[in-house]
Amino acid sequence: MSTTVAMPQLGETVTEGTILRWAKQVGETINEDDVLVEISTDKVDTEVPSPASGTILEILVEEGDTVEVGTPLVVIGEEGESAGAQDAPDEAETEEETETASTEAPEAEEKAASEPRQQPEPAAEEQ
């Protein structure tokens, strides 16, 4: 099963990065934690390690391209495997969890709105 590697969040305020250099090309083997790509942001230039071992099946973003955090960058899998049978990037799971949480939240708000609110007791007057 292949893995899609997405543009990582390289800082709290970083929203995008520019691909400076691919350390491996399509068809080459990579080991987990080997340098996969060098990315430049407005804060720092950094080498991003591979999250998985395998063969580079497809590079989705060219050197020099600037992409948003979460954008799929590359597909890593077994040699001969089709790049179309990849796992969704980690960010997709995060979006799904966020979507689920946001659909559950209105139910809690509706329940709270239907319950009568108690008025605070007036403060005792000083004499």
Asked whether residue 86 carries a pLDDT value surpassing 50, the answer given is no
CATH class of the domain defined by 3-108: mainly beta
CA torsion angle 94 96 97 101 (round to 10): 140
pLDDT digits (tens, 9 = 90+) for 40-78: 999 889 999 999 999 999 999 999 999 999 999 999 999
| In contact, 106 and 117? CB cutoff 8 Å | no
The residues spanned by each domain of the chain are: 3-108
Comparison of pLDDT for 97 and 73, the residue scoring more: 73
Higher per-residue pLDDT: 125 or 40: 40
